[in-house]
Structure 1
Amino acid sequence: MRWDEVRELYPNQFVKFEIVESHVIEDKEYVDEVALIKAVSDDREAIKEFISCGEGQFVYSTNNPDLVIELVKHVGIRRSL
């Protein structure tokens, strides 16, 4: 399902989903298609769902016109003994 379709079906709500198709430009992932898991009724439930997300699952507000995820590189810390 495309993000604009999700926004039409669930206006002004949070939704939990998995990414089906996306593309990366520089340090941002632009999501083209999602697999909707469920609509979330309120802010408190959205926080609970966010905490319980499995690998590849996200919670996002349909108030946002575009679905863009900022990619963060994990930098390890090294030290010598």
Structure 2
Amino acid sequence: MGPTNTHFLFRILWKASNLLRHKIFFWLLLHDRVNTRNLLKRKSMVLSSYDCALCNDSTEETCHHLFWDCPFALHCWNII
């Protein structure tokens, strides 16, 4: 359909030799569509708490928090 301007991360993602489910998960993460408590709240789902389930910081569970700011995530990244 002609040339399109896409972000370089998406070009790298789809050309990578990873499993399709990993590519789809990363695509969802880049588009802020991973089912975090924040996304469920935006979809009007009522939960008792929207705080992160992995830490006790009383911080809302967002994609950014879940993968980068959460102490549990930082510990996992350090192990890797």
Q: TM-score, with normalisation over the residues of structure 1?
A: 0.23
Structure with the bigger RCO (C-alpha within 8 Å, sep 6+) is 1
Q: TM-score, with normalisation over the residues of structure 2?
A: 0.23
